[in-house]
């Protein structure tokens, strides 16, 4: 059962999360014929500095990044972004549209490569900078290893290169999930009984952000358009993601990255492994990492003080190229 958002490619515009002016919104088809929602904003101020290609984490959507998109535009960048297959306003892949599903992690590379060819190259001004969060950060790293000509630089927020507190290695967890998928359990959700839907009551001690206003803002968007929400991942998604993280943790992976990379890790991250990011950063030849003190997983959704550090790191990283 393949479905897209019944509201079409429009963006949710509400008082607590206003739509930045000048957006162009639409659908494009990937090379394997999946329909994805995308949006593009021209730069809003000053000299043009290129285009940010912004890629999201698991279960996120374009609207979550309106504030961040405005911040990039104020710096002179155009911003182009899209919803990954199976989430946001893009085509869902299984009958239960509330579950996170992908057949193989390679499919996200297909999404990014198709977006680059269909939207970025013909319609967005270069140079191109890839900015990825969490799952999008892992896709970004794999893309940088596969094709160093797609983007000039890669800037990552809490990239999903490993998970802590797992009973097996990333490769072992991937193999286990593959076995479960083989026996027909690929679309079964993976979650904990303690997992709860985000609400004002769930803000204290949440793993995502210490900023209540930004936390509640995303809840407002989901209330306005429930179709955007994705909950638990499936066994099949876990199999794909674990295999991709295992690849990123392999001995040869850091040497395959031949493009400048800056990874930011959150010191208080409970979603992805901060230590995994640090270990990869130390092994990179063309990249490095920074750990943001006091930050939780969603660095772009954190407090003003933490976001200030994130954008200071971004500004310095981009200035290295132009300076």
Query: Residue 100 pLDDT > 80, yes or no?
Result: yes
Tell me if 1 is assigned to some domain.
no
What's the pLDDT score for residue 180? Answer: 96
Query: Residue 92 pLDDT > 70, yes or no?
Result: yes
What's the pLDDT score for residue 202? Answer: 87
Tell me if 18 is assigned to some domain.
no
Give 156-170 pLDDT, tens digit per residue: 999 999 999 999 999
Tell me if 318 is assigned to some domain.
yes
Better-predicted residue by pLDDT, 134 or 201 = 134
Q: Where in the sequence is the domain holding 116, given as residue range(s)?
A: 24-322
Residue 217, domain CATH: 3.40.50.1820
Identify whether the C-beta of residue 16 lies closer than 8 Å to the C-beta of residue 216.
yes
Q: What mean pLDDT comes out for the span 282-293?
A: 95
Confidence at 1, pLDDT banded by 50, 70, 90? very low
CA distances from 29 to 90, 199, 218, 240 (A): 10, 34, 27, 22
Q: At what angle do helices 106-115 and 135-146 cross, to 10 degrees?
A: 70
Count of domains observed in the chain: 1
* Of 112, 137, 155, the residue nearest 259 (C-alpha): 155
**pTM, 2 dp:** 0.95
Q: What mean pLDDT comes out for the span 271-291?
A: 96
What's the pLDDT score for residue 195? Answer: 58
Identify whether the C-beta of residue 83 lies closer than 8 Å to the C-beta of residue 110.
no
List of residues 6+ apart from 281 with CB closer than 8 A: 263, 265, 287, 288, 289
Tell me if 16 is assigned to some domain.
no
Q: Which of 45-49, 72-76, 121-125, 301-305 has the lowest mean pLDDT?
A: 45-49
Q: What mean pLDDT comes out for the span 180-198?
A: 82
Q: How many whole angstroms separate alpha carbon 23 and alpha carbon 149? A: 27
Tell me if 93 is assigned to some domain.
yes
Better-predicted residue by pLDDT, 127 or 195 = 127
Tell me if 130 is assigned to some domain.
yes
Tell me if 193 is assigned to some domain.
yes
Tell me if 218 is assigned to some domain.
yes
């Amino acid at each position: 059962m393949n479905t897209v958002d019944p509201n079409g490619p429009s963006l949710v515009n509400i008082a607590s999360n206003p739509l930045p002016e000048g957006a162009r919104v639409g659908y494009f088809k990937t090379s394997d014929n999946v329909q994805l929602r995308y949006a593009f904003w021209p730069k809003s101020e000053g000299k043009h500095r290129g285009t940010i290609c912004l890629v999201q984490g698991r279960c996120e959507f374009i609207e979550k990044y309106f504030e961040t998109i405005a911040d990039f535009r104020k710096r002179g960048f155009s911003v182009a972004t899209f919803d990954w297959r199976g989430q946001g306003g893009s085509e869902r892949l299984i009958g239960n549209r509330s579950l996170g599903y992908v057949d193989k992690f390679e499919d996200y590379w297909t999404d990014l490569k198709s977006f680059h060819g269909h939207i970025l190259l013909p319609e967005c001004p270069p140079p191109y900078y890839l900015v990825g969060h969490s799952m999008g950060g892992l896709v970004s790293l794999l893309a940088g290893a596969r094709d160093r000509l797609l983007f000039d630089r890669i800037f990552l927020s809490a990239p999903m290169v490993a998970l802590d507190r797992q009973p097996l290695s990333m490769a072992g967890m991937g193999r286990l999930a593959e076995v479960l998928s083989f026996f027909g359990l690929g679309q079964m959700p993976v979650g904990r009984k303690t997992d709860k839907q985000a609400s004002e009551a769930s803000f204290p001690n949440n793993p995502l952000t210490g900023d209540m206003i930004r936390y509640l803002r995303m809840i407002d968007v989901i209330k306005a358009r429930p179709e955007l929400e994705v909950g638990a991942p499936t066994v099949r998604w876990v199999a794909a993601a674990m295999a991709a993280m295992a690849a990123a943790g392999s001995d040869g992976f850091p040497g395959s990255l031949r493009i400048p990379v800056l990874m930011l890790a959150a010191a208080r991250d409970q979603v992805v492994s901060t230590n995994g990011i640090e270990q990869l950063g130390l092994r990179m030849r063309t990249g490095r990492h920074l750990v943001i003190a006091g930050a939780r997983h969603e660095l772009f959704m954190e407090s003003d003080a933490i976001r200030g550090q994130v954008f200071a790191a971004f500004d310095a990283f981009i200035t290295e190229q132009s300076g």
